[in-house]
């Protein structure tokens, strides 16, 4: 797997490069601004990108806006947003296109190398991985259409958004897999999500809300 790192902090960028190298992931390029990132994607498309939210010159939302543009330039380019901040508007646009291959992790909440690498591999394979804190912040900033869900269904939804399969959710919540299946069915029904064959339907409950 070939990855582009988009991070203006040189020390962090080099640390990520070394980290990925130990996991046999090739770093094709390291860029510190949005335009260089887009040029790298256009010149030699990577298999995935790790992108910070705040980049020069204004350090507001250049990174996530560039991620949206990169996925328009190369449809379905897997992107892992890796930042200290939750950027609401463009994060919603990035996450809600329904194509998968998207992740959003908070730097302060990733405590293990294998956790980060696993998330990147899931995203490169077309999955969607979201930190539950990101989901919580995005949901609380708008009218909440999931108010009809029970507390347990909200827990299941959060774990679905984080990329966990039913057996993993069952283990984390200490319930049966059958109970998880029932909760998932209730979530889809309450959010009025259409039945489809997409492999990303496990996270459509979250993505449909973010794109509402």
Q: Give the model confidence (pLDDT) of 52-100 as tens digits.
A: 998 998 888 899 889 989 998 898 899 999 998 887 766 777 776 667 7
Give me the residue spans of the domains in the chain.
1-133, 143-212
Is the predicted pLDDT of residue 156 greater than 60, yes or no? yes
Residue 50 near residue 123, CB atoms below 8 Å: no
Which of the following CATH numbers is that of domain 143-212: 1.10.10.10, 1.20.1260.10, 3.10.180.10, 1.20.1250.20? 1.10.10.10
CB-CB contact of 183 with 153 (8 Å)? yes
Measured distance CA(14)–CA(189) in Å, rounded: 46
User: Quick one: pLDDT band at residue 46, thresholds 50, 70, 90?
Assistant: very high
CATH H superfamily, domain 1-133: Response regulator (3.40.50.2300)
Task: Give the Cα separation of 203 and 104 in Å (integer).
Answer: 13
Q: How confident is the model at residue 190 (pLDDT cuts 50, 70, 90)?
A: confident
- Say whether pLDDT at 41 is over 50: yes
SS (H, E, C) 107-150: HHHCCCHHHHHHHHHHHHCCCEEECHHHHHHHHHCCCCCCCCCC
Mapping DSSP onto H, E and C, the string for 36-79 reads HHHHHHHHCCCCEEEECCCCCCCCCCHHHHHHHHHHHHCCCCCE
DSSP summary character for residue 198: -
- 137: tokens are 């912040």
In angstroms, the CA 6 to CA 82 distance is: 9
CA distance 108 to 52: 13
Q: Are 165 and 157 a contacting pair, CB within 8 Å?
A: no
Residue 197 has pLDDT above 50, yes or no: no
* Least confident interval from 27-36, 125-134, 191-200: 191-200
Backbone φ and ψ for 210, nearest 5 degrees, come out as -65, -30
């Amino acid at each position: 797997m070939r990855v582009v790192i988009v991070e203006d902090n040189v020390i962090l960028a080099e640390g990520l490069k070394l980290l990925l190298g130990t996991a046999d992931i090739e770093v094709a390029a390291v860029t510190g601004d949005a335009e260089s990132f887009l040029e790298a994607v256009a010149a030699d498309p990577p298999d995935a990108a790790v992108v910070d939210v705040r980049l020069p010159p204004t350090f507001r939302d250049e990174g996530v806006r560039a991620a949206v543009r990169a996925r328009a330039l190369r449809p379905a380019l897997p992107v892992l947003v890796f930042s200290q901040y939750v950027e609401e508007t463009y994060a919603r646009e990035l996450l809600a296109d329904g194509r998968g291959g998207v992740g959003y992790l908070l730097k302060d909440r990733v405590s293990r190398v294998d956790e980060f690498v696993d998330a990147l591999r899931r995203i490169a394979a077309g999955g969607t991985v979201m930190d539950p804190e990101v989901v919580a912040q995005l949901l609380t900033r708008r009218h909440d259409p999931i108010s009809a869900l029970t507390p347990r269904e909200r827990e299941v939804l959060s774990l679905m958004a984080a990329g966990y399969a039913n057996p993993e959710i069952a283990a984390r919540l200490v319930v049966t897999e059958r109970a998880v299946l029932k909760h998932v069915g209730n979530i889809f029904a309450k959010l009025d999500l259409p039945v489809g064959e997409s492999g990303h339907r496990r996270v459509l409950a979250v993505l449909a809300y973010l794109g509402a």
